[in-house]
Amino acid sequence: MQVTVYLLRAFCFFASFLFLPPVAAAPNIDTLIINGQVHQAPDDTVVGVTRGKISYLGTLEKIQPLLGDTTQVIDLEGAALYPGFIELHAHVFDNIMFSHRICPLQRLGNSLAIANCVAMAEQWPKERWVMGYSHGLLDTLPKNSHPRQWLDKHFPDRPVVVSEPHSLIAWLNTRALERLKVTRYSLDAKGGRVLRDSQHYPNGIVVGAIAEQALMEAVQSHPMTFASSLTSMQEIQTAFHQQGITSLAEGGSLWQVGSIDFWLAVLDSGQLDVRVSVRPRLSPYRGVNEQLVQLKSILRNDFASSLIINQVKISVDGQYHLGTARLNSPYLSPAIASEEKGLFYFSPTELNTWLQRLQALGYGAYLITEGDAAVEAAVYSIQNARRMSQDQRFTLTDMHFVEPNVLQLIHKYDVSVNFTELHDRRYLSRQMAKELPGSVSEKVTLASLSRHGISTALSSKGYNGGHQSPLAQISQSLQLGEHGFGSVSEAIDSYTIEPARALGIEGITGSIVLGKSADFVVMERTLDEFAHEAIADAVILMTLYQGKVVYEAEELKQSL
């Protein structure tokens, strides 16, 4: 398959032998896309683009008066044209920050990795934190010692935090606990927990707001230049373009330590070739009014811009695989003895207050809700917010089991649902079925959401390199049998128009409609022509953002 790009003056040479005389007038069409299979359009549809927007959809004959000899022609030669994909769950800035600061320190890692990390840290000033990543920080503990003691053995003189990606769980050594003023007698910060031994001494495991505090302090202890950050961002942006992604929602975990300034600087540099909706993550331990003042100052509702800030991210509860997701009934085997039903990082009352205050300010919310009690708290808070206004968008993610009436309310109050990586969900659902009480009656699946008419968007986890491509997710969603999507079209919608609705940008992108942004992905052929398991390997030939070609496959570059 080949895609050919040329100016209209060359196209007119052979078009004149067909039906199009050469045109010398000033063009209204900047780019003309022909001979493609346009998603959800008749077979003979051509697409005209003017100043980055779709300005024409129709036949080739009728567009002739709008063309000029500087119009660029993209001949798809039978390839398929789809709306650009929208990644609803990305952590670009987090990845950039941590990749420049992270030490190869893994939980219970081998001695060589630990020695390398120690050697790296010795080159830093004493006040600089050592940062590591690991999984299973509540599952497997060091033998014959607490996590704090294990870290102290290797790092006695500087603060250390080992965090579990995207879970608000961390291990801290003694120096780190001292920095945070966590002692045998200290009270837990709002929205957080310090796990303690039988003598009430901190054992080094912290959850929720305290883990967040540790990460914020650790990040701020490491200097970083905008130039190096920009280079990393450009590399990540290229990877998104290669996957056909033209819009994304950014997690915003580090919004109070530089991420907003970073994105504004990238925008001002003119090098932002993907639409970014930044979602600042609310903190349960920082003051409500303090955060609202900050949010008001950074609100950006200009949909013509490549940078939008009009939603927040709220981690309502913990994670099921850690035993911290908030349930209506106790766990059979609680991970934290004092929290037999799991954790609320934001209580139902706090959440209700937050959503109403945010609604008045012009913000929607992306709510991470794993446990059934957390889902219900979120839905009832959204119900109250909807009484004030229907304008803002709300999305729930990571829920697994809920009562059927909750799904009905999600549909009633026009709440979107985001499904992250599907292979992880299947494993978790099996584990949860063993642990959750039998009173929770319905597993949340793509099919059940579809039956209730709920807007459903797929996405990757998008964290620390753990990113699955849209095509891989679309492919998996069609291989789940009775639990998955029923058609290729529905699966495509889950990475185009449905995430656009979740972000409130369906008026500007997500489908190929007149007046919308010319955000496209070109594939070798339509996805309907692939076996479901082969969709993940479909070849992306080209990606366009606002009418600009931002990615071309190598075979295309060589053919031009």
Distance of alpha carbon 551 from the chain centroid: 21
b/e for 53-84, b at 16 or more Cβ within 10 A? bbbbbeebeebeebbbbebbbbbbeebbbbbb
Characterize the bridge pairing of strands 72-75 and 31-34.
parallel
pLDDT of residue 475: 96
CA distance 238 to 410: 36
CA distance 118 to 283: 32
Please give the structure tokens belonging to residue 470: 């849209």
The three-state secondary structure class of 346 is coil
Other C-beta atoms lying within 10 Å of the C-beta of residue 559: 12
Q: Count of residues for the chain?
A: 560
Please give the structure tokens belonging to residue 274: 């993907």
8-state DSSP, 309? B
How deeply is 323 buried, as exposed, middle or buried, from its count of CB atoms within 10 A (0-12, 13-18, 19+)? buried
pLDDT of residue 11: 52
pLDDT of residue 18: 40
For 213, half-sphere exposure in the C-beta direction (CA atoms, 13 angstrom radius) is 23
Q: Where are the beta strands (DSSP E) in 4-100?
A: 4-7, 31-34, 37-38, 46-50, 53-58, 72-75, 80-83, 85-90
pLDDT of residue 165: 67
Q: Which residues contact 553 (CB under 8 A, 6 or more apart)?
A: 539, 540, 541, 542
CA distance 32 to 25: 16
For residue 171, give Cα distances in angstroms to 48, 159, 176: 55, 11, 9
Q: What is the mean pLDDT of each run of 10 residues along the chain (560 residues)?
A: 66 43 56 97 96 95 90 96 96 81 64 80 88 74 78 92 81 96 93 91 92 90 83 92 96 85 94 96 92 96 96 93 87 86 94 95 95 95 92 93 91 94 53 53 87 95 66 95 95 98 97 97 97 96 97 71
Start-to-end CA distance of the chain, whole Å, equals 13
User: Which domains are present in the chain?
Assistant: 102-221 (3.10.310)
pLDDT of residue 258: 84
CA distance 335 to 332: 10
pLDDT of residue 516: 97
pLDDT of residue 124: 87
DSSP character string of 401-450: EE-HHHHHHHHHTT-EEEE--HHHHHHHHHHHHHHS-TT--EE--HHHHH
